Structure 1
Amino acid sequence: MDSIHVWATYLLILASVIGYAWERWPIEAVAAASLSAFLLLFAVAPYRDAAGFAVTSGDLLSGFSNPALITVLALLIVGQGLFATDAMARPTQWLTRIGGTVGGRATAVVLLSAALLSAFLNNTPVVVIFIPILTMLATQRGIPPAHVFMPLSFLSILGGMTTLIGSSTNLLVAGVAARSGIEIGFFDITVPGLAIAVVGGIYVIGFMPRILTPRQGSEGRVADSGGKQFLGEIDITEGHAFEWLTARAGLFPGLGDLMPRMILRGERTILPPFDDITLAVGDRLIVTATRRAFSKALSTGNLTVKTLDPSAETLGDQTNKIGPDMVMAEAVVAPGSRYAGRTMQYSGLRTQFGITLFGLQRKSRMARSALSEIRLEPGDTLLLCGQASAIAKLKGNHDLLLLEYSAQTIPQSAKAGLAASIFFAIVLMAATGALPIEVLAVVGALLMVATGCLTVGEAARAFDRSIFMLIGASIAAAVALERTGGAAMIAETAMTALAGLSTAAILSGLFLVIAIMTNVLSNNATAVLFTPIALDLSRRLGTSPEAFLACVIFAANASFATPIGYQTNLLIMGPGRYRFIDFAKAGVPLVILVWLTFSIVAPWYYGL
């Protein structure tokens, strides 16, 4: 029965990996099937491990209560809070200024900063820090998310290989070695670690983006926040940020990305160039800008969601506060629409749907006039703002065709400082060990919702069910592999096969075996399993144990070929829109490079 359970476990793991890589079925479906198979196996044919304890369904389902799973999901919610409030806009601008205007160079600066920080801080908080920064950078520079997030995870892992505290794996190996009377110093692994990090970094930054295929989000398309220009109107009220703004060289430098087209001052129309013109209370500033610029103006209060419809109690004075449930979306006026021919002021959109029309894009030339006086035409693209529930009412409307992919939450810039404070408190306390990171992550996610940085709906959308199922099923496989003795059997078989080879060859072979195992089990489980084996090998061969301990550290960290091997891979799986096969395509070459680099550098450095 023992051998049946071991071989059945091998078969189920192989079938699961094939299912993930084939991509014929969703990851959640393959994970659910894998988990069901393990539950059936140990329910129909009960098994007791070497210590005499039965492998129960509770053991196999323990992954769903695993701290790593809770941490990943909670940190995704925290990261969504940072993105929803634009909290990382300023750090992104600072880093991109260092990198210059070239998108690839700016990305490289951010990624290398993450790798450097990972040498002195655990990988997980480093990746959490840089996910919102790279999200902003990718959005601003039009960089595919697939080209930045997997490099972030891989470079943080590579950076973490260079010092003892760079990752939890390093500390685990050091802890097991300390029980055998062997101490590993802070910089004992730095030289070979740097060699591996440099070779791996060149591949990750220079070659890996060419391998990765950008994918669209779950909505099927990404909102066009780039070059499409909309016509909009800004009322200059008392205390407005643009009040007393004076034109220089015909333009208003304080407007940022908003391009002025006309100023309506009472009955007077002021056209460009705007020489010696100062904006005053009562002016209506007609501008053109991208939806990104309008979104920023709304979030900072420079543009207000106001009532344009005469049927409301007040005209032009009623404003709505931009809350976490306010959404910006685009809709197209359909041919034969009953809105065609109506002016924007008398469109009736607010009274009917509770939304405000504040931008218009038309392919043909538009007359210079107030936004509220422009008559709508079929084919016009309207920029709308309202609560998510109000925008949803447009679905199925035959007069206004809602572009559902365009609906995006307006950043809560007023709460950016609050969101950033929550985030950095998590990172600081996790780095100092004040509280466990799973506790900090859950509390941080709760605070993001409680303080209004996120709505409950936004937090729920940040929850990634594929990661939830993948971690649960993977831990079930790992439990089965360890408790049945399958992992130990692989290790013993590998050591038997390496017997009789030179010390350098044995070290290289051991690295390859561990690197394969760490992508099936977790990195920490693999490190704990192979550290005693490595120490025993060094004693048998009569060599220094440092080389074999370094082998375990570097190989157990080489979790590049699957998303389940390392926690940071799971963190970036959703933001990067990756599939299981993407990690194999981009990660397997990196595993091979790391293995070859170690096989060349280790014998020289350790004098084998």
Structure 2
Amino acid sequence: MIDPPSLHAIAAMVLTGAMFYAFAAGKLKVEIICLLMLSIIALGLYWFPLPGQAPSDGLKLAFEGFGHYALITICALMILGRGLVVTGALEPVVQQLTRVWRFNQRLGLLVTLMLAMLMSMFVNDTPVLVLLLPILVTLATRGGMPASRTLIPVNSAVLIGGMATTIGTSTNLLVVSLATDLGMPAMSVFYFTPLVVAAAAVALPFMWLVMPKLLPDNSPEAGHSPRHFRAMLRLGTTSPAIGKTLESALGASVEGIDIVSAPERPLQAFDRLVISASHEAIEDVMRLLGATTAPLVLLERLKARSSASEEDLAVVELSVARDSTLIGRWIASSGIALTHDVAVIAVHHARSDNTDISSSAVEPPLAVGDIILATGTLTDLSRLAREEGLLMLDGYKEVPRTAKAPLALAIMAGAVVSASLGLLPIAISALGGAILMFVTGCVRFNRVGRALSANVIVLVAASIAVGRVILESGAAAWLGQLMALGLIHLPAGAVLAAVMVFVTVLTNFASNTTAAAVGTPIAFSLAQALSVPVEPLVLAVLFGCNLCYATPVAYQTNMMIMSAGDYRFGDYTRTGLPLVLIMIVTLSGLLTLRYGLY
């Protein structure tokens, strides 16, 4: 029998539960939730301090995460990864990958999975997917394997690779840093890499051979309806539809058109219609109605710019990435046309809840995974993608290749090697590498905002504070004792698997960073209660935080591929749950063998 938790412990658990619920509900932005949590912790501990502490200690606990060395390391690694991307340092590898795909699709998928794992060991998961996503989508449109059958397996490989090193993800760094703060010896960069590589070898056949068969062929060639875009059509003074009803103007020559809003009277010059249809159908309607999807003045300006630059106008699909400046904004008020000399033709809004909102009467703001159909010169479209945080999915994507690419690679290698050999702490080597990226011009000072993610910064700081509160309030000790009651009669391997399952459930329905902050102190308390080494339990928490394959909301890269693959919630569950099971069984068994917990 265990004693009931203290009031502070109860409050800490309620606060953590509320944080998980807020993340899962998705009604507030992540940074808003985190700032609210920090404020509640600071004010709560000021008015009701922990036993033996002064009110000012609560303020320090709440906000010290912003100066924590784990957060500094994470920011430095983001800058290092940005340097590799903007200099085109990884472009030669990507070009070779494209050649393999064209030679043999099955071999191309295998090489892509292995390359994704390798790259994400050293570069954050999101930039790796940013590099691979346009290639896979483009190859699919040119007769390759459907994107819907490749993106989830490749995303899973990226997540597994990120699990393999302490610098692979911000979550890994957070778990290792929290464990070090609690007294566990520091882990080197490749400390647990052999375990993950062995588990990846077991999971690879499933991702390569089975996953694609479990996923639908969502390509139009397979009879799947093409992606629908929402477009506003403008009638000019010379439109052949003037004086006709919309039905008679369209006739029966265009199929698959959803009319969102249109005048019920005969059409007149300067009328505006909102429709939802495929890109091809939108073009057909434009021809029949003599309509445009952008102001005529803007289109004339684009034509003049094209003539002056001797560049042809192009139409491309641009996916809204996680760090895009357009998130939460409407196209009409975004200023894209004025700033970048491009015209937005239509927008496809991603399904986050299995509902197609392209035909909704009320246009929603842009969100992660939405796809913008835009026209302009390739130079202007590339600048739009680069400056607004968009991914070019269709058309020619020009990744800068500069003379600084070898230098960026050398800086990244120096930071990783010096940390892995124990010459420097990872915080120092990463910070030094980030400074070198600035000094050498690989990353410009005025572009540092593109490298850093405000969401990650605030989330990590809040997670550190939540972890400290869980620990110091006694909630971790109480939860550890409660879990020990149910696990005390289980073998060590089953205990490790149970801890991994517990954290995996949290990370698939909330934030993996917060799951790490909660799970790490619980692992310490559980180790003490069960009299087992703490290190395998901490690694079980770390691995569990990375097993985020089963839901689209579990990780940001899951959402990024949702529109490009036209996935539904069930596609993630059908492929992700078996992979989670494979990884939990394999990793818990490997931990048991490595630490002799028989």
Q: Any idea what SS the aligned residue of 1:473 has?
A: helix
Do 2:476 and 2:525's aligned partners in 1 also have CA atoms closer than 8 Å? no
Tell whether 2:546 aligns with 1:560: yes
Moved more, 100-109 or 70-79: 100-109
Mapped to 2, the partners of 1:429 and 1:482 lie a distance apart of 33
Matches within 5 A, 1:78-157: 78-98=80-100, 101=103, 105-113=107-115, 115=117, 123-124=121-122, 134=132, 137-138=135-136, 141=139, 147=152, 150-156=155-161
Equivalent residue runs for 1:383-402 within 5 Å: 392=339, 394=341
In structure 2, do the counterparts of structure 1 residues 529 and 83 end up closer, same or farther at CA, with 3 Å as the change threshold? Answer: same
Residue 43, structure 1, aligned to residue 61, structure 2: no
Within a 5 Å distance, the mapping from 1:127-526 to structure 2 comes to: 134=132, 137-138=135-136, 141=139, 147=152, 150-156=155-161, 159=164, 196-202=199-205, 204=207, 206-207=210-211, 337=297, 347=304, 356-360=309-313, 392=339, 394=341, 407-409=384-386, 411-415=399-403, 416-500=405-489, 509=498, 512=501, 526=519
After superposition, residues 55-94 of structure 1 pair within 5 angstroms as 55-94=57-96
Task: Tell me the distance in 1 between the aligned counterparts of 2:60 and 2:216.
Answer: 38
TM-score, structure 2 as length reference: 0.54
8 Å CA contact retained: 1:77, 1:463 = yes
Greater percentage in helix: 2
Contact residue 116 and residue 128 of structure 2 kept, 8 A: yes
**Separation in structure 1 between the aligned mates of residue 555 and residue 571 of structure 2, nearest angstrom:** 11
- In the comparison of the two structures, how many residue pairs are matched? 429
CA deviation profile, 1:503-555 (whole Å, cap 9, x unmatched) = 7655654554576689576659856763685477367xxxxx7xx96565345
Shift of 1:63: 1.9
- 1:172 to 1:22, Cα distance in 2 relative to 1, 3 A: closer
Return the alpha-carbon distance in structure 1 between the equivalents of residues 89 and 521 of structure 2: 39
Aligned to 1:22: 25
- TM-score normalised to the size of structure 1? 0.54
Question: What is the CA distance between 1:25 and its match in structure 2?
Answer: 2.1
Amino acid in structure 2 at the alignment position of 1:16: M
1:530 pairs with 2:523: yes
Partner of 1:278: none
The answer for the alignment partner of 1:31 in structure 2 is: 34
- Structure 1 vs Structure 2: percent identity of aligned residues? 21
> How far did 1:478 drift?
0.9
User: For the Cα contact (< 8 Å) 2:65–2:461, is it kept in 1?
Assistant: yes
In structure 2, what residue type is equivalent to 1:392? T
Asked if the contact 2:89–2:401 (Cα under 8 Å) also holds between the matched residues in 1, the reply is yes
Whether contact under 8 Å (2:84, 2:409) holds in the other structure is yes
Deviation, 1:10, is: 1.0
Task: Give the secondary-structure state (helix, strand or coil) at the position aligned to 1:494.
Answer: helix
Give the counterpart letter for 2:72 in structure 1.
I
> 1:5 and 1:24 mapped to 2: Cα distance?
27
Deviation at 1:16, TM superposition (A): 1.2
Computed over aligned residues only, the root mean square deviation of the Cα atoms, in angstroms, reads 5.6
5+ residue gaps, structure 2? 141-146, 167-171, 219-226, 230-291, 316-334, 345-373, 387-397, 564-568
The worse-fitting range, judged by mean Cα deviation, of 584-593 and 80-89 is 584-593
Q: 471-480 or 134-143: which moved more?
A: 134-143
Equivalent residues of 2:62, 2:465 under 8 A apart: yes
Distance 1:512 1:551 in 2: 12
Counterpart residue identity of residue 132, structure 2: L
Taking the aligned partners of 1:22 and 1:69, their CA distance within structure 2 comes to: 26
- Stretches of structure 1 lacking an aligned partner (at least 5 in a row): 162-166, 180-185, 215-219, 223-331, 363-387, 540-544, 564-568
- 2 CA distance for matches of 1:421 and 1:212? 41
Match of 1:385 in 2: none
* Separation in structure 2 between the aligned mates of residue 440 and residue 188 of structure 1, nearest angstrom: 20
The alpha-carbon deviation at position 8 of structure 1 amounts to 1.3
- The 3-state SS of whatever aligns with 2:311 is strand
SS at match of 1:207: helix
In structure 2, how many angstroms separate the alpha carbons of the residues matched to 1:213 and 1:432? 46
Q: State the shift of 1:499 in Å.
A: 3.8
Tell me how far 1:53 sits from its aligned partner.
10
CA distance in 1, matches of 2:5, 2:97: 56
